């Protein structure tokens, strides 16, 4: 039901800030977007040519925009991509109202797209970001051209056993207990545990990628709002699971009009593989990509396969760049 800060595979270091070094993959840049009462870090990858349609990538619980670097590189000839750090994660400061609910995150995505004037976009979401993107596509169909969900955090009757610790963070008092219990666990050990939890095959992570992830884990754990962001976001997922009626995520999945691609990993320890066919039935006319060897973050493990499936979606549905996009210089 969640993803976490994971190893990247191609990163370089820019000048450091007081809380650590910003890592961006070759060809990327990290910028700050300021809106009334909101500040977001946004990772850009300039497209390989003009006139490409815009895309937005939304990470999962504990993750960041860096989780999308490999897929963004794969799709640089297909979309004009940007990935945001949700409030309280990556390099975005926490939300002023301390609201980490799925609805609040969806509101952030909508505000960013409205302010930037980039919609409709090809919207991508992983785990928590998948739940957020589902809500955005349901309530603002004008902003979403296609929807690609990778292991989306949609309600399950039987939650994976390995996902229980994350769910427990939503219980009052448990986060403080976890914090005390983990004081003696270093960033390297935590990163190794996260990698083993989220990757179908942890050996796919390069040594450089693992070292970079350890450094990022150290930076994140030093932030004063680290546990609050994790706790309140976990509670936000649990709350979203319990919502019924028109606000329920499965009901909203049925309202999505955009062509959809659903990606599930056979070795996912956080979102059950058995949910794939239920999701395919809920999102009308959707396509399903099942990767038996993938874990929770298929866009990091098998970016080429995900990119190929996305291109097929564009080709078969005719949802690539339009003449109007090219004329307006929107990419």
Give residue 163's pLDDT: 45
59 within some domain: yes
- The phi, psi pair for 223, rounded to 5°, reads -75, 140
Q: How far is CA 239 from the centre of its chain?
A: 19
Model confidence at 243, in pLDDT bands (50, 70, 90)?
Answer: confident
5 within some domain: no
329 within some domain: no
323 within some domain: no
Distance CA 206, CA 213 (A): 10
Contacts of 273 (CB under 8 A, 6+ apart): 264, 265, 266, 290
Range(s) of the domain holding residue 51 = 12-317
**Residue among 225, 303, 296, 307 at smallest CA distance from 25:** 303
Contacts of 303 (CB under 8 A, 6+ apart): 70, 71, 73, 74
Q: Which of 50-54, 166-170, 202-206 has the lowest mean pLDDT?
A: 166-170
3 within some domain: no
Residue 11 confidence (pLDDT) above 50 = no
Distance CA 223, CA 216 (A): 11
Give residue 305's pLDDT: 98
133 within some domain: yes
For 193-232, the pLDDT digits (tens) are: 889 999 999 999 999 999 999 999 999 989 999 989 988 9
Measured from the Cβ of residue 313, the count of other Cβ atoms closer than 10 Å reads 21
Model confidence at 25, in pLDDT bands (50, 70, 90)?
Answer: confident
The residue among 104 and 47 whose pLDDT is bigger is: 104
Alpha-helix residue ranges (DSSP H) falling in 155-248:
164-168, 174-181, 187-198, 207-221, 226-242
Tokens 């066919």 correspond to what residue?
277
Residues 126, 239 contacting (CB under 8 angstroms): no
For 136-165, the pLDDT digits (tens) are: 999 999 999 999 999 999 987 555 444 444
Sign of CA dihedral 131, 107, 123, 193: negative
280 within some domain: yes
1 within some domain: no
Tally of structural domains, the chain = 1
The CATH number of the domain holding residue 93 is 3.40.50.1820
Model confidence at 7, in pLDDT bands (50, 70, 90)?
Answer: very low
């Amino acid at each position: 039901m969640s993803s976490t800060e994971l190893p990247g595979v191609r990163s370089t270091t820019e000048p450091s800030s007081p809380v650590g070094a910003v890592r961006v993959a070759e060809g990327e840049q990290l910028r700050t977007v300021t809106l009334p009462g909101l500040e977001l870090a946004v990772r850009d990858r300039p497209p390989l040519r003009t006139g490409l349609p815009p895309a937005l990538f939304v990470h999962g619980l504990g993750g960041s925009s860096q989780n999308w670097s490999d897929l963004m590189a794969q799709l640089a000839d297909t979309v004009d991509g940007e990935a945001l750090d949700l409030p309280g994660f990556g390099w975005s400061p926490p939300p002023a109202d301390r609201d980490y609910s799925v609805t609040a995150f969806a509101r952030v995505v909508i505000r960013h797209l409205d302010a930037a004037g980039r919609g409709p976009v090809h919207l991508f979401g992983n785990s928590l970001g998948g739940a957020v993107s589902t809500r955005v596509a349901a309530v603002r169909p004008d902003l979403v051209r296609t929807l690609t969900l990778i292991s989306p955090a949609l309600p399950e009757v039987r939650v994976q056993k390995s996902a229980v610790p994350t769910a427990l963070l939503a219980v009052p008092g448990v986060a403080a207990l976890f914090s005390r219990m983990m004081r003696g666990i270093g960033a390297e050990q935590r990163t190794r545990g996260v990698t083993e939890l989220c990757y179908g095959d942890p050996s796919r992570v390069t040594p450089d990628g693992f070292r970079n992830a350890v450094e990022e884990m150290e930076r994140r754990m030093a932030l004063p709002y680290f546990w609050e962001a994790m706790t309140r976001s976990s509670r936000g997922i649990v709350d979203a699971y319990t919502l019924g009626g028109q606000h329920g995520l499965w009901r909203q999945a049925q309202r999505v009009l955009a062509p959809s691609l659903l990606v599930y990993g056979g070795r996912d320890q956080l979102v059950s593989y058995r949910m794939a066919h239920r999701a395919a039935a809920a999102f009308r006319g959707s396509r399903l990509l099942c990767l038996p060897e993938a874990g929770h973050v298929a866009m990091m493990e098998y970016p080429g396969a995900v990119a190929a499936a996305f291109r097929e979606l564009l080709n078969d549905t005719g949802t690539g760049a339009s003449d109007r996009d090219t004329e307006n210089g929107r990419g």
